[in-house]
C-alpha cells in the first residue's frame, strides 16, 4: 500500500518547500543532463556544451508551455480563478504542453546555435522519458492523478479531501502515477539502447519515443479519474496521444526513407 507523506517537504523561514517542486526540479535537471551526456557521448563533444548554454531558456519555455496547456484543458476552473494560473508550486503541469512548446523551442535553438535539430530531438526525448519517470512522483506527493478504486496489494491511499465526490467512501485507488513512472523508465532504458544502435538515423529515436509514450498514456488514461476535458467521451490526453502517434509515424517514415548522410 502507498500513502503520501503530504505535499510540504519542509519550510525555510516560514516559506513552504513542496515535494512537488523538489520532484519537478530533480526530473528537469536529470532530463537535461541525460540529453547533454548523450549528445556528448554519441554525437559531438564540443557542440554538446551549447546545450548547457540554452537549457535554462528551454526549461523556462517548457514549464510555461506545460502550464498554459494545463490551464487550457482546465479552462472552466481557471476562468473563475484566473489568479491561480500562476500557482504552480502545488502542481498543474502537462507533459503534452511541455512537448509541444519544448520541441518548437528546441528547433529555434538548433537554428540559433547551429546544431542538428533531429540529433537534439533524439537526446532530449531520451531525457524527457527519464524526467517523466521521476516527475510522476510529484503526483504521488500531491495525491493526484490516481485511478479508480482498487484493493490490489499496491493500492494507493487517498485522503478524503482529495477524493472525487462520487468515490468519497473509497480509501484506496490505482496508483496510476506509479504505472506511468515504471513504464516511462522502461521506455527510457529502451531509448538509450535504441539511440546507440540507430544514431546514424537522427530523428528515429524521437519518433519511437513519441509513439511509445503515447501508447503508455492511452493505457494509463483509461484508469485515471481526473480527466479535465473530454471530447466525444474521450479524454483530451488520449486525443493528444493519438495525434502524437500520427506524428511519430510520419517522422519515422521520413527518417527511414531519407538517405543516410
Residue 211 or residue 2, greater confidence: 211
List the one residue out of 168, 254, 248 whose CA is nearest residue 213: 248
What percentage of the chain reaches a pLDDT higher than 90?
61
Give the sign of the dihedral formed by CA 137, CA 142, CA 147, CA 151: positive
Read off the pLDDT of each residue in 251-257 and give the average, rounded to a whole number.
93
pLDDT of residue 229: 67
Question: What is the structure's pLDDT at 89?
Answer: 64
Q: Which stretch, 62-76, 93-107, 143-157, 207-221, has highest mean pLDDT?
A: 207-221
Evaluate if residue 259 carries a pLDDT over 70: no
pLDDT of residue 71: 84
Q: What angle do CA 122, 260, 241 make, to 5 degrees?
A: 35
Q: pLDDT higher for 10 or 237?
A: 237
Residue with cell 523551442: 105
| Residue 228: predicted pLDDT | 65
- CA 90/CA 136 separation, integer angstroms: 13
Split at pLDDT 50, 70, 90, the class of 91 is low
* Grid cell digits, residue 77: 476552473
pTM (2 decimals)?
0.89
Mean pLDDT of the chain: 89
Cell numbers for 245, please give them.
502517434
**Cα–Cα distance measured from residue 227 to residue 176, given in angstroms and rounded to the nearest whole number:** 13
Give per-residue pLDDT as tens, 20-53: 889 989 999 999 999 999 999 999 999 999 999 9
pLDDT, position 56? 93
Residue 261 pLDDT > 70, yes or no?
no
Amino acid at each position: 500500500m502507498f500513502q503520501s507523506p503530504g505535499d510540504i517537504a519542509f519550510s525555510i523561514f516560514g516559506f513552504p518547500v513542496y515535494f512537488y517542486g523538489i520532484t519537478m526540479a530533480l526530473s528537469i535537471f536529470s532530463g537535461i543532463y541525460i540529453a547533454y551526456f548523450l549528445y556528448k557521448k554519441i554525437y559531438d563533444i564540443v557542440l554538446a556544451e551549447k546545450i548547457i548554454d540554452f537549457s535554462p531558456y528551454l526549461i523556462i519555455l517548457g514549464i510555461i508551455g506545460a502550464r498554459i496547456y494545463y490551464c487550457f484543458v482546465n479552462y472552466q476552473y481557471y476562468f473563475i480563478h484566473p489568479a491561480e494560473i500562476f500557482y504552480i508550486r502545488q502542481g498543474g503541469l502537462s507533459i503534452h504542453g511541455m512537448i509541444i512548446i519544448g520541441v518548437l523551442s528546441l528547433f529555434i535553438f538548433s537554428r540559433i546555435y547551429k546544431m542538428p535539430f533531429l540529433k537534439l530531438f533524439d537526446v532530449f526525448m531520451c531525457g524527457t522519458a527519464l524526467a517523466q519517470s521521476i516527475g510522476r512522483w510529484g503526483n504521488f506527493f500531491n495525491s493526484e492523478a490516481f485511478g479508480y478504486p482498487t484493493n490490489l496489494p499496491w493500492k494507493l491511499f487517498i485522503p478524503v479531501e482529495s477524493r472525487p465526490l462520487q468515490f468519497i467512501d473509497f480509501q484506496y485507488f490505482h496508483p496510476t502515477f506509479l504505472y506511468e513512472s515504471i513504464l516511462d523508465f522502461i521506455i527510457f532504458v529502451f531509448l538509450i539502447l535504441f539511440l546507440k544502435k540507430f544514431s546514424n538515423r537522427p530523428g528515429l529515436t524521437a519518433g519511437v519515443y513519441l509513439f511509445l509514450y503515447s501508447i503508455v498514456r492511452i493505457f494509463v488514461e483509461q484508469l485515471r479519474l481526473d480527466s479535465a476535458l473530454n471530447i466525444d467521451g474521450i479524454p483530451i490526453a488520449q486525443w493528444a496521444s493519438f495525434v502524437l502517434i500520427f506524428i511519430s509515424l510520419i517522422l519515422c517514415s521520413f527518417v527511414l526513407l531519407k538517405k543516410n548522410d
